Amino acid sequence: MTTRCLSIFHVDAPHVLANHKHYSSRMGYEHTAVSMAGMQGKAQRTLLKYELVLHHLRQMPEMALLVCFSEDCLVLNMYPVEPMAEGRQHLLPSLNGNTGSHQAAVQVWRNTKDIRNFIVRCIGECKIGGATDDEETLLAPLDVIEPMGERGGVTCAMFCNPRFTPVWATYPNLWTIVMDEEKMYGYIHPSFRNALAEHINDCQQKGARLLDFSAHANVPAEPFSVYNPGQPIALVTYYTANVREYGAIAELNFKRYCERHGYTLYVYRDTPAEVEPGTTGTWLKPWFLRKYLPHHEWVMWVDADILFVDQSKPLEPLFANRDLLAAHDIGPWIINAGVLGFKRTDHNVEFVEEIYRAVSAAPDKSSTYANGGDQTIIANLLRERLDWALEDGLDCIGINTPWYFQQPSSLMVHFLAIQSPMRAMLMSQQERVSLQLN
């Protein structure tokens, strides 16, 4: 019996393809790859997929297995598919995530007359102008493996996305992960897909533990450090032990940038004892800005989930002809408070003091988004006190760029709205890119 793996990709995903090829090679399976990149129509893609499935089944021996992977499926562990498919004509795992249980990123088909007839039926239904181009509808007559279901002693598939805790990394008997994301969040972004595939491939080659970024934590243990003190421009950041896996990556990146351009860097690795009890995380921004603005010409707060990617670019051109620096937010807020820069002026010293008082008065500062978060308070004050409008902010391409908006011209990339291990994975990959650029 011959088993064949068929990678059918809607987009270019070289590290995912390498993952599929590695699995096929380790298992001794044939492998074929088909690219639909450039084919935008869902109906055309669906029809082509099932025509390809039929094409390959008709070439294969009776009872052989055809494993179909999309670019959103990664093989995590090198388990053969035959025990999972034992006694079955098809293997369609379902998922346990927040985007629904249906998935079509990994399918296993046994080459039997019944399956070939079923695929022909799917082709008939999804022809251009036909009944449906929706795979969930096409596959509805077939039974599926329950979420996190085991077959042959192996968990067939688990759900993965940037905002979902990566519990899959702790399952030693897991075959595949399937990446999926809601439309509101832009589906799975290519940078996440390829970074995760590259990380998994690297761990497989080295026998390393998944999502272990302790090697990046080569930073001082003390709660506070200042690098290159006394410079006109200063950056301030803060992180605690629970996010050290990515905070340490950011610290080393900031340190390299500040050393290159002659800026002071203040790094807090624990909450200062002097701050009001119960204040944590981003709620401390005004405290830090208030503390250091009198001592520098410019002070800029930078969240610890940000990287300076193109480190050749200095900050001075961004400060020209302005007293306050902030960039657009992608959501309802007028600015994103992950990067805030203030020139030392009497007005700014007073305004930072006002921000500090308003944030201190918030009744709940226990989590990032309590009471709408410090960002809501700061944005409201900018509007009310400074008549700040959207045109006053910098675009979010040049600085404070959401990671899924990143462009070659982006100086600072913000890895927001991601679970911490995934954030560390993406930041680790981007720090390697930054080191190569600079």
List the single range of 81-85, 182-186, 279-283 with lowest mean pLDDT.
279-283
* 211-226: pLDDT as tens digits: 998 877 688 989 999 9
CB 179 within 8 A of CB 160: yes
CB 385 within 8 A of CB 351: yes
List the single range of 175-189, 272-286, 294-308 with lowest mean pLDDT.
272-286
Q: What is the predicted pLDDT for the residue at 423?
A: 97
Q: Are strands 3-9 and 30-35 parallel, antiparallel or unpaired?
A: parallel
| CATH 3.90.550.10 fits domain 222-437 | yes
List the single range of 99-103, 122-126, 390-394 with lowest mean pLDDT.
99-103
Q: Which among 156, 160, 196 is positioned nearest to 174, based on CA atoms? A: 156
First to last CA, the chain: 52
pLDDT band at 1 (very low <50, low <70, confident <90, very high): low
CB 17 within 8 A of CB 7: yes
Q: What are the strands, taking DSSP E only, across 223-372?
A: 224-227, 233-238, 264-268, 298-302, 306-308, 324-327, 336-343
273-295: burial string, b at 16+ Cβ within 10 Å, e else? eebeeebebbbbbbbbbbbbbee
* 97 has a pLDDT exceeding 80: no
* 278 has a pLDDT exceeding 90: no
Computed over every residue of the chain, the mean pLDDT equals 95
CB 390 within 8 A of CB 334: yes
Average pLDDT over residues 187-205: 96
- Topology alike, domains 3-206 and 222-437: yes
Q: What is the predicted pLDDT for the residue at 371?
A: 72
Instruction: For residue 412, give the 3-state DSSP assignment.
Output: strand
Average pLDDT over residues 374-380: 95
* 70 has a pLDDT exceeding 90: yes
CB 406 within 8 A of CB 171: no
Q: Which among 342, 341, 340, 338 is positioned nearest to 401, based on CA atoms? A: 338
The residue ranges of every structural domain in the chain are 3-206, 222-437
3.40.50.720, 3.30.2080.10, 3.90.550.10, 1.25.40.80: CATH of 3-206: 3.90.550.10
Q: Give me the percent of the chain exceeding a pLDDT of 90.
A: 86
